[in-house]
Amino acid sequence: MSANVPALRLRAVRIDTDSENVAYLARGCTACRVDVLRAAQKVAVSVAGAAPDAEPMLAVLNVVDDSSIVGPDELGLSEQAFAMLGVPAGTLLTIGPAARPASLDTVRRKLQGEPLDLASMRAIARDIAARRYARSEIAAFLVACGREDLERDEVLALTRAMLETGERLDWREPLVADKHCIGGIPGNRTSMIIVPIVAAHGMLIPKTSSRAITSPAGTADTMQVLAEVELAPARLHEIVLRERGCIAWGGTARLAPLDDLLISVERPLALDSPGLMVASILSKKLAAGSTRLLLDIPVGPSAKVRSLADAQRLRKTFEHVGRALGLHVEVTVTDGTQPIGRGIGPVLEARDVMAVLESRPDAPQDLRAKSLRLAGRILEFDPDVRGGDGEGLARDILESGRAAAKMASIIDAQGRRLQPPGPGRLVAEIVAPRAGRVVGFDHLRLARAARQAGAPASPGAGLDLLVRLGDAVRAGQPLYRLHAETSGEFDLARRGCDADAGIAIA
């Protein structure tokens, strides 16, 4: 395709373009018609003299009008593309319009309603992992999968295909426990209590978590209030083997890179596809080397899953795909009608977690009870723990102080934060507009308020809840305290809460 094009010299352009390969070409390029290439949107880059059947690397074309970035006889590649091509600067390259990846035809057929088999999913996953898809093409694939959700076996095929594109950890132990919540409930920071309990028992639980994107805090953001969470893979490995657990950010391990890429495209679209969610969660857990997973599905009127019937359907898909790929998934359907714990936002949630671990009298009892119940289920993965004994054992570990000691030891191993931030110093009380009873929590509204207040980027920002479902309140009684660190965010969040507090009184 590019046989008629003279060669260009490779130059590294030190721009990190994240999930997209970018090729930089001078507008006055001596070797090709930039306008023709631009119309094709993606260009195919080959090492000059490579075998004719060698697959070229695809990249998005940016046209440069600054000769200090690329000269007319140069082809610049972004950091990702340069690393992927894997040849030194100065190498002679040829360039041409990119052919459409063949697997896009499969995506098109899926858009027309045809189911995808394993071979198709593999071809799509391979092309996406090799950066042959533009982000718009990935979006079309995700929408195609999301519209009339995937069949169970399509979810299995996708999970398998995603898993095959990345690395897999092997802990060389028969039992590697993991815990995951599908999310959507403010607060609910149980992992940071469960991990120290389970690790204190001696069971391996290498928990990696995400940062918040649409929520006011992810487990990684909350843990970061107390300790470092960005740990190089080798160090993480060493900590886990010594402590039997960790609470770290999953991004540095580069497990399931395809999942990260799909999520980054899917998230702004808010597609909300159960099939994609199952494939995403299970591919990540399998890549992390987990063998038994406790999966929390909260159900409630403003939760991700709104009925028990939906929760049961989702559960079957998790179990089906997990079984086929060698991961035992145990699903627990929990109450998602109200936030768990009092704090919403990294600092406030970390405070709740530490209050439970240290058995302080003011610890939120709902967070404590749920964490003990889930930890108990995980402890029963241990063949030596009798069925029904898990929760009692978890309580013993917590009340004896062993969980708090384990948490301190994990924090020290990961790198204790010596001056942890406090709650945001700008504080407003959001009050009940009338007397009545608390009858409902709007999780999305509360999350949005905490984000407007600055969470998670401002770790001290967020909400501190003062009421629970069923509480009687009088008009003017505070429902929650709003914390922020800057006046702009404070005013924005306060105006939003004054308009709609997110708590229904009837």
Q: How far is the CB of 16 from a second copy (least distance, A)?
A: 4
Among 489, 496, 502, 503, binds a second copy (CB under 8 A): 489
Residue 97 phi/psi, 5-degree rounding, is -65, 145
Q: How far is the CB of 351 from a second copy (least distance, A)?
A: 21
Among 51, 488, 499, 506, binds a second copy (CB under 8 A): 488
Q: How far is the CB of 376 from a second copy (least distance, A)?
A: 34
On the 0-12 / 13-18 / 19+ scale of CB atoms within 10 A, 369 is middle
What is the distance, to the nearest Å, from the Cα of residue 464 to the centroid of all Cα atoms in its chain?
A: 24
Among 308, 435, 439, 457, binds a second copy (CB under 8 A): 457
On the 0-12 / 13-18 / 19+ scale of CB atoms within 10 A, 356 is buried
Nearest one of 98, 77, 80 to 8, comparing CA atoms: 77
- Let me know if 272 is a catalytic residue: yes
Burial profile 169-205: b = 16 or more Cβ within 10 angstroms, e = fewer:
bebeeeebbbbbbbbbbbbbbbbbbbbbbbbbbebbb
Among 9, 17, 392, 478, binds a second copy (CB under 8 A): 17
Of the chain, the end-to-end C-alpha distance in Å amounts to 69
C-alpha–C-alpha distance, residues 58 and 47, integer Å? 12
Q: How far is the CB of 65 from a second copy (least distance, A)?
A: 4
Secondary structure string (H, E, C) spanning 168-208: CCCCCCCCEEEEEECCCCCECCCHHHHHHHHHHHCCEEEEE
Among 6, 28, 33, 316, binds a second copy (CB under 8 A): 33
Look-up: residue for tokens 């402590």? Answer: 243
Question: Does 211 engage in binding with a second copy (CB under 8 A)?
Answer: yes
Nearer to a second copy, 361 or 488 (CB): 488
Among 189, 485, 496, 503, binds a second copy (CB under 8 A): 485
Among 47, 123, 138, 248, binds a second copy (CB under 8 A): 138
Look-up: residue for tokens 């094009």? Answer: 5
| Strand bridging mode 292-299 / 177-181 | parallel
Question: Does 62 engage in binding with a second copy (CB under 8 A)?
Answer: yes
Secondary structure string (H, E, C) spanning 129-170: HCCCCCHHHHHHHHHHHHHCCCCHHHHHHHHHHHHHCCECCC
CB 95 within 8 Å of CB 75 = yes
> Would you call 298 helix, strand, or coil by DSSP?
strand
- How many chain residues are in contact with a second copy, going by CB under 8 A? 66
Question: Does 499 engage in binding with a second copy (CB under 8 A)?
Answer: no
Q: How far is the CB of 143 from a second copy (least distance, A)?
A: 4
Task: Restricting to residues 67-106, name those near a second copy by CB under 8 A.
Answer: 68-69, 78-79, 97, 100, 104-105
> For the sheet containing 472-473, what is the strand order?
472-473, 436-441, 503-505
User: CA-based angle 179:182:184, to the nearest 5?
Assistant: 130
Among 73, 237, 241, 264, binds a second copy (CB under 8 A): 264
Choices 139-147, 299-307, 358-366, 464-472; region in contact with a second copy by CB under 8 A: 139-147
On the 0-12 / 13-18 / 19+ scale of CB atoms within 10 A, 62 is middle
Question: Does 111 engage in binding with a second copy (CB under 8 A)?
Answer: yes
Among 64, 181, 226, 465, binds a second copy (CB under 8 A): 64
Q: How far is the CB of 272 from a second copy (least distance, A)?
A: 8
C-alpha–C-alpha distance, residues 176 and 170, integer Å? 10
Question: Does 36 engage in binding with a second copy (CB under 8 A)?
Answer: yes
Contact map string, positions 399 to 438, toward a second copy, x by CB under 8 A: ----------------------------------------
> Which of the residues 105, 272, 412, 498 is marked catalytic?
272
Nearer to a second copy, 153 or 230 (CB): 230
Question: Does 384 engage in binding with a second copy (CB under 8 A)?
Answer: no
Question: Does 313 engage in binding with a second copy (CB under 8 A)?
Answer: no
Among 270, 418, 499, 506, binds a second copy (CB under 8 A): 270
Enter the tokens of residue 499: 């308009």
* Contacting residues toward a second copy, per CB under 8 A: 1-4, 13-18, 24, 27, 33, 36, 38-42, 52, 61-66, 68-69, 78-79, 97, 100, 104-105, 107-108, 111, 134-140, 143-144, 146-147, 211, 213, 264-265, 268-271, 454, 456-458, 485-489, 492
Which sequence positions are flagged as catalytic?
Answer: 272
